[in-house]
């Protein structure tokens, strides 16, 4: 190995210093890697990739660094989408959401799982110091209360994920009604589509090699695998969802509550908060500002509660009286017992 003299070193260094210094624009400014919001994706099904992931990839101040799905075929597809966008192979992949939460470099998570996982993963993510955007709805009333308390305790940003509040026609409609432009509001009627029948063929079937069925079930009651219980069809099965009332109702009930000024207390005349750029842009802006998004956790909880109340009334087959301040049923132990559902072992919320 030849010895490099001090003079030779200085001459070589001088030559380097005189060479043009070209730095890619992406490494500078507000959208440089050091300033981007690192996001982990938990749940990469049709809506998780076709809507949520695609929207995040449109925003230069966010960078998707990890994808997670218990169906590894779906996770691989999501990783491919991310890597093609960034022209590299850097996006990490896992089937266990806990690996996403354990990464200290991830700032926020986008949760697009079936409903029975929404609150549990959100709560664990908030405790891990992540800001959270999570698909609606919660699974039970009491889960929503826990989620709201956890967001406030840990002072994180939480976006209830629906696009409706950013759609101009819904925003305009709610403002017109709330400000009395249609006259006195006498009645609100929400009409939902008829629920599809499910769960289809209940015959137990072999679990596909790419699917971790035990992890897909998670806190839900055990059931043998059948293709008609997973992915899109989970919406119509009570173990994993609240049916059409929660799936569609969360959208429509929210617009009704927004217009009726019953989402939470507020002034008599208002200009309703929205973000025409959409739910994902709104969330990213709030991660930076530390303000509540346009669909914060408490409003998300309240609209999910409307859905759960409807389901409980239907399952009991009678009218119910609800105290919105105490968040409990009036002299109705049977209905109160339906405000929550047990989690299957070993899953739990741990110390609240």
pLDDT band at 202 (very low <50, low <70, confident <90, very high): confident
Residue span of the structural domain in which 110 resides: 29-163
Q: Residue 276 falls within a domain, yes or no?
A: no
Cα separation, 207 vs 224, whole angstroms: 9
Alpha-carbon dihedral of residues 121, 123, 126, 127, nearest 10 degrees? -110
Q: 199: pLDDT confidence band, cut at 50, 70 and 90?
A: low
Q: Is residue 265 part of a domain?
A: no
The answer to whether position 314 is within a domain reads: no
- Full-model pTM: 0.87
Residue 63 placed within a domain: yes
Q: What angle do CA 246, 247, 253 make, to 5 degrees?
A: 60
The rounded distance, in Å, linking the Cα atoms of 69 and 128 is 19
User: Strands, E, within 100-223: which ranges?
Assistant: 108-111, 131-135, 158-161
User: What are 95-137's pLDDT values in tens digits?
Assistant: 999 999 999 999 999 999 999 999 999 999 999 999 999 999 9
Answer yes or no: is 158 within a domain: yes
Model pLDDT for residues 17-46, shown as the tens digit of each residue: 444 444 444 455 666 666 899 999 999 999
pLDDT of 83: 98
CATH of the domain at 156: 3.40.50.720
Q: By C-alpha distance, which of 324, 291, 288 is closest to 30?
A: 288
Does residue 327 belong to any structural domain of this protein? no
Say if 123 falls within a structural domain: yes
Q: How far is it, in rounded angstroms, from Cα 241 to Cα 244?
A: 9
Q: How many domains does the chain have?
A: 1
> What are the tens digits of pLDDT across the range 272-313?
889 999 999 999 999 999 999 999 999 999 999 999 999 999
Residue 104 lies in a domain: yes
> At 112, is the secondary structure helix, strand, or coil?
coil
């Amino acid at each position: 190995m030849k010895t490099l003299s001090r003079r030779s070193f200085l001459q070589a260094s001088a030559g380097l210093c005189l060479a043009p210094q070209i730095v890619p624009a992406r490494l500078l400014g507000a959208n440089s890697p050091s300033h981007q919001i690192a996001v982990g994706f938990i749940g990469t099904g049709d809506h998780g990739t076709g809507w949520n992931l695609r929207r995040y990839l449109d925003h230069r101040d966010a960078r998707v660094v990890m994808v997670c799905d218990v169906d590894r075929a779906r996770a691989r597809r999501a990783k491919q989408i991310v890597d093609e966008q960034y022209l590299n192979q850097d996006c990490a992949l896992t089937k266990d959401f806990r690996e996403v939460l354990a990464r200290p470099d991830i700032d926020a998570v986008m949760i697009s799982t079936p409903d029975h996982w929404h609150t549990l993963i959100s709560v664990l993510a908030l405790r891990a110091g992540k800001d959270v955007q999570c698909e609606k709805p919660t699974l039970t009333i009491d889960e929503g209360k826990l989620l709201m308390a956890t967001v406030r305790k840990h002072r994180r940003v939480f976006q209830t994920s629906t696009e409706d509040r950013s759609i101009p026609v819904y925003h305009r409609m709610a403002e017109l009604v709330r400000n009395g432009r249609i006259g006195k509001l006498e009645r609100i009627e929400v009409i939902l589509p008829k629920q599809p029948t499910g769960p289809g063929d209940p015959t137990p079937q072999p679990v596909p090699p790419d699917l971790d069925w035990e992890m897909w079930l998670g806190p839900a009651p055990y059931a043998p695998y059948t293709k008609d219980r997973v992915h899109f069809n989970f919406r119509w099965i009570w173990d994993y969802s609240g049916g059409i009332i929660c799936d569609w109702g969360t959208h429509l009930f929210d617009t009704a509550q927004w217009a009726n000024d019953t989402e939470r207390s507020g002034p008599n005349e208002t200009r309703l908060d929205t973000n025409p750029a959409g739910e994902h842009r709104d969330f990213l802006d709030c991660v930076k500002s530390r303000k509540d998004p346009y669909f914060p956790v408490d409003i998300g909880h309240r609209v999910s509660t409307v859905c759960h109340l409807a389901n409980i009334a239907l399952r009991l087959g009678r009218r119910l009286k609800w105290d919105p301040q105490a968040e409990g049923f009036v002299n109705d132990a049977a209905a109160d017992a339906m405000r929550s559902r047990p989690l299957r072992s070993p899953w739990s919320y741990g110390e609240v």
